[in-house]
Amino acid sequence: MKHFEVLGTGCKKCVSTAESIERIAQELGHTVSVEKVTDPARIMEYQVMSTPAVALDGKVLHSGSIPEDDEIADWINSDSVR
């Protein structure tokens, strides 16, 4: 199962990013886990400076805005499942 992390200190955009991922995964019939990471120390480890950012299985895919739906669908559909 893919593990998404939404990095952000708890602003509105971070919440809607997490919701988008969950919604699109459901639409596509995949089960994913989405975790909201609000701990600044962990965000720092990812070297992310603009939030919301999205990491999949420990790798940052996107930062600075709410990702587009298409983009999210690509991540969910990609083969990089561990």
Which residue ranges make up the site for another protein (CB under 8 A)? Answer: 7-14, 40-41, 43-44, 47-51, 53, 64-65
Quick one: 40 or 58, whose CB is closer to another protein? 40
Q: Closest by alpha carbon to 54, among 63, 46, 41, 43?
A: 63
CB of 54 vs another protein, minimal distance in Å: 13
Q: Which is nearer to another protein, 10 or 29 (CB)?
A: 10
Cross-strand pairs, 37: 7
Among residues 30, 29, 32, 23, the alpha carbon closest in space to that of 55 is found at 32
Q: How far is the CB of 67 from another protein (least distance, A)?
A: 12
Q: Which is nearer to another protein, 27 or 39 (CB)?
A: 39
C-beta neighbour count of 36 within 10 angstroms: 15
